[in-house]
Amino acid sequence: MRISVSAWDPGYADTGEKTGEAAQAKMDLDVEVPAVKWEPIGSDVPAPPRVLLVDGVRRLDARVDIAVEGQPPVPGICASYGAGVVECDPGGGSTATIPVSRIERGLFSAVPDAGLTAGRTAAYVAHRSRASEPGDLLNAVQDRLTALEIEVATEAEPGRDDLLVIDGALRRRTHLPRAVGFIKSHQRRYLPDHLSSIIDKLEPGQRTPVFVLGTSWQRHTWYLRLPGGGDGSWAGIARLEAADDLTIAEVVALADSASAVLPRLASVAHKDPRAPQNLTPIAGLERRLRAKLGDPRLLLRGLRTGARAF
């Protein structure tokens, strides 16, 4: 087996929403409130005792070609990625801690045992993808990152009254207790035209009623306005998700709890260009995780050295 390494542009993004799926969305709007009675909903419940926010980062360090004797070269991706949990006490000031964080590196390809080392400490563990197309390799990286996010969220052990906030869609993580997905950007505005005017009415901290959204998977969802978003109709709007198998009472309790605490964690424009949706604790967690991924130039040099010695 022979592995050759070349540089890979690490800049890419995945919002977790698929445009094709959005076009096929089905909705039940008469869940919490009949659609004809929709109005903004504020929260008068106390903030949860503890908020746990989960996020992950990923970076593509290099692309590789893996030559197995007697077969054409197979492409692969060397990626560094990490996930962590930031813990906030809504009643304890602005202090936040990171109780759990983990960094991994992997070589993703259709070859089952193609691992590679970069220097003495950086090992890219073999992860097998279903196929060798670029999209399949990227999906394999994202699948492992999602699994790592589940692992760190489980390790954090959210309590019965805590709120667990997953940065991004809740897909494949709906089994986590007390969990809501937090979607910062909108590839599609799901509300039908006759209800979209409610977004204009939302004040910071107010949300829409809960409704059911189905694409290739089904979940409860609602929109929430955060403070500091500017003057646009959709400025500061985030969409949240909860598991489909929860009762409506359980979902409403999660929605009210999120409305009570997430506006307090919104970022501000002079500190974060993604404000206010990029919550301040998540931004801090992302910075910490990216720093722990290591220097990409040194890793690329190490990968090339390791490939020559393979």
For the segment 209-237, what is each residue's pLDDT rounded down to a tens digit?
A: 999 999 999 999 999 999 988 777 888 99
Name the pLDDT band for 94 (thresholds 50, 70, 90).
low
pLDDT at 121: 81
E strands along the chain, which residues? 2-7, 26-28, 51-67, 74-88, 96-109, 116-118, 122-128, 163-167, 179-183, 211-214, 218-225, 237-243
pLDDT at 23: 57
Does 22 have pLDDT greater than 60? no
Q: Once rounded to an integer, what is the mean pLDDT over residues 237-255?
A: 97
Residue with tokens 């959005």: 22
223 vs 233: CA distance, rounded Å: 13
Name the pLDDT band for 42 (thresholds 50, 70, 90).
very high
How big is the CA angle at 232 (ends 228 and 193), to the nearest 5 degrees?
Answer: 130
209 vs 261: CA distance, rounded Å: 17
Range of lowest pLDDT (79-88, 101-110, 163-172, 301-310): 301-310
Does 241 have pLDDT greater than 50? yes
How big is the CA angle at 17 (ends 12 and 23), to the nearest 5 degrees?
Answer: 125
